[in-house]
Structure 1
Amino acid sequence: MTRPLTVALVAGGALLARRALRRRIGASPLWPMPALEEPVSGRRRENRRPSSHRVLVAERTEPAEGVVRLRLEGADLPPWEPGAHIDVVLPSGAVRQYSLCGDPDDRGAYTIATRVLEGGRGGSRELRERLHEGTEMEIRGPRNRFPLVAAPSYLFVAGGIGITPLLPMVRAAERAGADWRLMYCGRSRASMPFLDELEQAGADGGRVTVVAEDESGPPGLAFLGGLPAETAVYCCGPEGLMDAVSGALGEARAPHLERFTASAAVPGGAFALELRRSGRVLTVPADRSVLSVVRDELPNVSYSCTQGFCGTCRQRVLEGEIDHRDELLTDAEREDSMLICVSRCRGGRLVLDL
């Protein structure tokens, strides 16, 4: 039996929690300040790619059935905030994305974890079979499209390996004295990584509800409809779980979601594609990606994941309205660039700096 999830918040307690957060964390990851962008003033903006770093696999463990955890040590690693991920360049050259699940204060290492999927695209199997302690490798980033926003209270909903981006958020909320709850769902307790740590963190006040489907069946989400409006809801896990959370919350509010795979493609129409530097004008049919059409003409254009996650195929856009369908670029990056493996044109013509 799982403990019932407590969702009632007292207004006075929420106010105290908010004030405590501000006193304790100032400008920490829970309270990010937007950076002021320098005016472009007509100059060409760089099409920046994530910074690259060499790291060493310093430790490899298996925190749950079918899950591999790696501690990656390196010099001068950039700081990161809860919700961030890195690109991992696998020995084959394939690029995969993994959420950082360690401690942001540990500036000498990044920690990632993944479930090995036998029926996947092969990235997790390669990580398991070829990345061992002592292996040197390349990573890129970090990036963050899943930041922890300031809120008086939080509800985190994790499904299986979806706990990885939420784990640093739970730690940050706990350190800050915030009011938080976690619903952690999985096939079985043995398959759920970091379970002991999370249950210990939430032992005071019953903050953590574990839903192991082999014990109690699928999670009940009806309580989400009664959450206070000020509660920020974060969810990461299988598509079905995220759809269920969104549906239970209703159309009036949207949860913060981190997806394992790209969103389902919405059909789009054909459009003209100009490659400005190459002097070519092509047609992108409704049933083909920009990447596939471009590579017919320019076969050396780089790509990797083909699902809008890695950023390898990112190109600068000179003209046209972009239909962004990726899960990677920030709002600022989307102003003048796109991932041509998944994104398209909203109008009839798009011009790339190719």
Structure 2
Amino acid sequence: MSDGEITVRVKQMRFEADTVLSVAFETLDGSPLPRAEPGAHVDVILSDDLRRSYSLTQALDGNGPGCIVAVHRDPASRGGSAHVHERLRVGEKIRLSRPKNHFPLDESAAQSVLIAGGIGITPILAMIRRLTEAGRPWHLHYAARKRSAAAFLAELDACVAASGGQGQVTTHFDDEEKGALLDIAGIFAGADPDTHFYCCGPEPMLAAYEAAARGTPKERVHAEYFSAREEVAREGGFDVVLNRSGKVLHVESGQTILDVLIANRVSVPFACTEGTCGTCETRVIEGRPDHRDAVLTDEERAANDTIMVCCSGSKSARLVLDL
């Protein structure tokens, strides 16, 4: 077991929509899980060679033994969602990473507008729960192909009821709108000044969100990506130096840094393999990474202090990593 991993038991599994299962975990001895703010995710280690990142449906205060994630059964599953839906069972023991958060909520915002598509509701639900508890105003726009594909509708209704008039949910189901997509540009145009925007959903929704957000200060625009925005770097032609051992590994064309590390039995955690989860983030000691991830901010990319080795390459002939 890697440092920081937590052994848990599957306490409950429940269908929340046609293809969405919620999975509740609890620690074996009732000890509390680490604190996690809204928007956080955990890596679920389903087996030694199968690790996937899933968002938490609610924040963790550091005092309770349980947490819940939600998993959509992807028809093009690379193993993770298929394993959860078809093989994972109540009572099974697996491991979780400590929570990580690349999609934090600004609770001080005068107004929060949240946009979710399909399984993208998972981290958004955690935010809505926190905003409701804090008595802050929020408006969710929730899109899905059809009503039966939308998870957590009852929980969202409960949040609206508990919000004292501060919360609102607008749903958009494609089959009820004759195939028309959610008007994200209209959402931005109709928002109050100083609104903070949050979006999590499929790539076309996020592309429309980015387009609509042009002109809005970037500190008020937040997004969580489930798939890569850029092509994984496979150009190769550079050396990776492992600082702790001094070993030099050459990355050939067609390979990723992660490919080479694995081939040389260098232990490095990873999950998504396309730069969206942050699991493989590694400290850079020397060199200029070619960043391709969806995790680092522009400022973090410019600093070149870390790299996601699953998807990023090198602009320099030599890249020294803290491995």
- Distance in 1 of aligned mates of 2:309 and 2:148: 40
Task: Give 2:312's aligned residue.
Answer: 343
Task: Give 2:39's aligned residue.
Answer: 83
In the superposition, relative to structure 1, how do residues 266 and 136 fare at CA in structure 2: closer, same or farther (>3 Å)? closer
- Distance in 2 of aligned mates of 1:343 and 1:78: 30
Q: CA deviation at 1:337?
A: 4.2
In the superposition, relative to structure 1, how do residues 237 and 73 fare at CA in structure 2: closer, same or farther (>3 Å)? same
DSSP 3-state at the match of 1:143:
coil
In the superposition, relative to structure 1, how do residues 240 and 205 fare at CA in structure 2: closer, same or farther (>3 Å)? same
- Which residue identity is paired with 2:173? A
1:1-354 equivalences under 5 Å are 51-74=4-27, 75-91=31-47, 93-105=49-61, 107-149=64-106, 150-202=108-160, 204=165, 207-216=168-177, 217-223=180-186, 224-254=188-218, 255-265=221-231, 270-285=237-252, 287-296=254-263, 298-302=264-268, 304-305=270-271, 306-309=273-276, 313-327=280-294, 336-354=305-323
- Distance in 2 of aligned mates of 1:199 and 1:70: 21
DSSP 3-state at the match of 2:83:
helix
- Distance in 2 of aligned mates of 1:153 and 1:183: 14
In the superposition, relative to structure 1, how do residues 265 and 181 fare at CA in structure 2: closer, same or farther (>3 Å)? same
- Distance in 1 of aligned mates of 2:138 and 2:67: 25
In the superposition, relative to structure 1, how do residues 337 and 171 fare at CA in structure 2: closer, same or farther (>3 Å)? same
Q: How many residues align?
A: 304
Deviates more, 1:318-327 or 1:132-141: 318-327
- Distance in 2 of aligned mates of 1:275 and 1:249: 40
Contact 1:50 1:142 in 2 (8 A): no
- Distance in 1 of aligned mates of 2:7 and 2:194: 41
- Distance in 1 of aligned mates of 2:23 and 2:224: 21
In the superposition, relative to structure 1, how do residues 222 and 263 fare at CA in structure 2: closer, same or farther (>3 Å)? closer
In the superposition, relative to structure 1, how do residues 263 and 284 fare at CA in structure 2: closer, same or farther (>3 Å)? same
DSSP 3-state at the match of 2:114:
strand
In the superposition, relative to structure 1, how do residues 206 and 352 fare at CA in structure 2: closer, same or farther (>3 Å)? closer
Q: CA deviation at 1:299?
A: 3.6
**Please, what is the CA RMSD of the aligned residues?**
2.8
Contact 1:302 1:313 in 2 (8 A): yes
In the superposition, relative to structure 1, how do residues 226 and 250 fare at CA in structure 2: closer, same or farther (>3 Å)? farther
Q: CA deviation at 1:329?
A: 7.1
- Distance in 2 of aligned mates of 1:235 and 1:152: 17
- Distance in 1 of aligned mates of 2:288 and 2:24: 41
- Which residue identity is paired with 1:155? V
- Which residue identity is paired with 1:107? G
- Which residue identity is paired with 1:63? E
Q: TM-score normalised to the size of structure 1?
A: 0.76
Q: Which runs of 5+ in 1 are unaligned?
A: 1-48
Q: CA deviation at 1:142?
A: 0.5
- Distance in 1 of aligned mates of 2:66 and 2:261: 38
Q: Which runs of 5+ in 2 are unaligned?
A: none
Q: CA deviation at 1:345?
A: 2.4
DSSP 3-state at the match of 2:109:
coil
Contact 1:63 1:69 in 2 (8 A): yes
In the superposition, relative to structure 1, how do residues 222 and 329 fare at CA in structure 2: closer, same or farther (>3 Å)? closer
Contact 1:181 1:207 in 2 (8 A): yes
In the superposition, relative to structure 1, how do residues 284 and 300 fare at CA in structure 2: closer, same or farther (>3 Å)? closer
Deviates more, 1:237-246 or 1:193-202: 193-202
Q: CA deviation at 1:55?
A: 0.9
Identity %: 38
Contact 2:4 2:98 in 1 (8 A): yes
In the superposition, relative to structure 1, how do residues 325 and 219 fare at CA in structure 2: closer, same or farther (>3 Å)? same
The structure with more radius of gyration: 1
Q: CA deviation at 1:317?
A: 2.9
In the superposition, relative to structure 1, how do residues 160 and 50 fare at CA in structure 2: closer, same or farther (>3 Å)? farther
- Which residue identity is paired with 1:192? A
Q: TM-score normalised to the size of structure 2?
A: 0.83
